[in-house]
Structure 1
Amino acid sequence: MRVATSEIPAGARAVLAIAKEVFGGHLQAVYLHGSAIAGGLRPQSDVDVLAIIDLPMTDSMRKCLLARLLEVSGRHPVLPGAPRCIELMVFLKDRLAAPVFPVCGEFIYGEWLRDSFEAGGLPVPHCDPDITLVLAQARQQALTLLGPAPGDLLAEVPAGDRTRSAGGAAGLACQSAWR
């Protein structure tokens, strides 16, 4: 699916610029996915972006990325003319080649987490069955903003993992050995 640059949401363009700034040459890919691609943004839709990097994030990277996202992401509910809410998931490239269920994200940002972040919380690696479904959908429908096509970096999600994810499996915390 081809999308004109003018049709890429401003929030996605902002996230791409921020990711380039924070990760530099370690940024492998950035994809726009979700409702922006799968049917169109509605008034309260957030802008869904995936980023893939080739090294674990440092606390300094997490703080910088979080600070920038808090600046550019709109608050929910979005008022007319205000920036849209952003959802960003960052993944380690080597963890996506053959993902283990449930998939772990290196960094997850969404407006539902804003209160925690404004209170001093910092996004840490998080494993969640729902991420499996996000990656399965992104592999099929995401728009490449930077890097190779989604199918080149996002492994096929086994049908059994998709079924377990859709069944409402509870979120799990990553083990410290994962890092």
Structure 2
Amino acid sequence: MAGEAGAVDQVRRIVELAGGVLGRDVIGAYLHGSSVLGGLRPASDVDVLVVSRRRMDERARHTLLDGLLRISGSGNQVRPVELTVVVQSEVRPWRYPPTCDFLYGEWLRGEYEAGLVPQPQPMPDLALLITMALSGDHPLTGLRPARVLNPVPRADLVRASVAGIPGLLDELDSDTRNVLLTLARIWTTLATGRIRSKDAAADWALARLPSEHRAVLGHARQLYLDCPYSEESWSGALRARVRPHVDHVLTEIDRLLTRTPRM
């Protein structure tokens, strides 16, 4: 897996690819995710948000997808890429749910290779991505993010944080580490209004968990810090404690939601 130097080169290739496809429609490209929340870990994606002036046509979608398939993922000896393209007029002025023009994620590679081409669709997660891009303030090209994007109201940040919980729970057995860390991040975001890195969110949650629920999250955190995605192992004893841990965290999330004003 590519290290930090490799990730820098990979980011450059992503920006060049997006710029080559979108041309003058690119307003700016911004890092978000682990890159701006404390640094890349062995299992971290390279997360880039591109803001464009208009939607892509089908030819551009195919070209961008074909290029990303060649510069993303372990099969290419590089990190997974998550590239999100949003049309500025879809998010400024801000409204919820926002619409994503194009999303590439390595978890969808099988569907891409079977013929799926990313299309515009509502994407609540854009609230989180935009918030991270604004706080990270790391333009790769173009204007600074505060000149391009509006801040996301806290109520919409909460809605976006919890919108993906059902999908996460569906993946609990197959992607245990990521699900546990993401739930910890949702919990801390609702409680503090801040989006933390996955390991920092785990630290925050571990300090507030009852002792019987700490080992599961502690193991997930250590896997995240030490191992790529392909190296995830759980003992039978720990695996048996995953669901009780999740139920406890969901209870804490629900408790916070009852205290959050609904919009």
Q: TM-score, normalised by structure 1?
A: 0.84
Higher relative contact order (CA 8 A, sep 6+): 1
Q: Give the Å deviation of 1:34.
A: 1.1
Do 2:102 and 2:119's aligned partners in 1 also have CA atoms closer than 8 Å?
yes
| 1:48 alignment partner in structure 2 | 47
Q: Give the Å deviation of 1:131.
A: 1.8
Do 1:34 and 1:142's aligned partners in 2 also have CA atoms closer than 8 Å?
no
Alpha-carbon distance in 2 for matches of 1:7, 1:112: 21
Alpha-carbon distance in 1 for matches of 2:122, 2:74: 25
**Deviation string, structure 1 residues 67-105 (Cα, Å, up to 9, x no partner):** 0000011138x9xxx211110000101112112211111
**Deviation string, structure 1 residues 90-141 (Cα, Å, up to 9, x no partner):** 0101112112211111000010111110000100012122221111121111
Do 1:9 and 1:47's aligned partners in 2 also have CA atoms closer than 8 Å?
no
Do 2:27 and 2:142's aligned partners in 1 also have CA atoms closer than 8 Å?
yes
Q: Give the Å deviation of 1:10.
A: 1.9
| 2:117 alignment partner in structure 1 | 122
CA 1:7–1:32: 2 relative to 1, 3 Å: farther
Alpha-carbon distance in 1 for matches of 2:100, 2:136: 19
| 2:88 alignment partner in structure 1 | 93
**Deviation string, structure 1 residues 123-174 (Cα, Å, up to 9, x no partner):** 0012122221111121111410111111111111111111211223579xxx
Alignment of 1:25-174 (within 5 A): 25-75=24-74, 82-168=77-163
Please give the secondary structure, in 2, of the residue aligned with 1:129. Answer: coil
Aligned residues: 162
Do 1:73 and 1:85's aligned partners in 2 also have CA atoms closer than 8 Å?
yes
**Counterpart amino acid of 1:27?**
V
Alpha-carbon distance in 1 for matches of 2:68, 2:42: 20
1:12 matched to 2:7? The reply is no
Root mean square deviation of aligned Cα: 2.0
% identical equivalent positions: 35
For structure 2, the 5+ residue unaligned runs are 167-263
Alpha-carbon distance in 2 for matches of 1:119, 1:101: 31
Do 1:96 and 1:153's aligned partners in 2 also have CA atoms closer than 8 Å?
no
Please give the secondary structure, in 2, of the residue aligned with 1:108. Answer: strand
| 2:220 alignment partner in structure 1 | none
Please give the secondary structure, in 2, of the residue aligned with 1:100. Answer: coil
Alpha-carbon distance in 2 for matches of 1:65, 1:120: 14
**Counterpart amino acid of 1:42?**
R
For structure 1, the 5+ residue unaligned runs are 1-5, 172-179
CA 1:59–1:146: 2 relative to 1, 3 Å: same
CA 1:26–1:73: 2 relative to 1, 3 Å: same
Alpha-carbon distance in 1 for matches of 2:102, 2:10: 18
Alpha-carbon distance in 2 for matches of 1:103, 1:16: 23
- Say which structure is richer in helix: 2
Do 1:88 and 1:108's aligned partners in 2 also have CA atoms closer than 8 Å?
yes
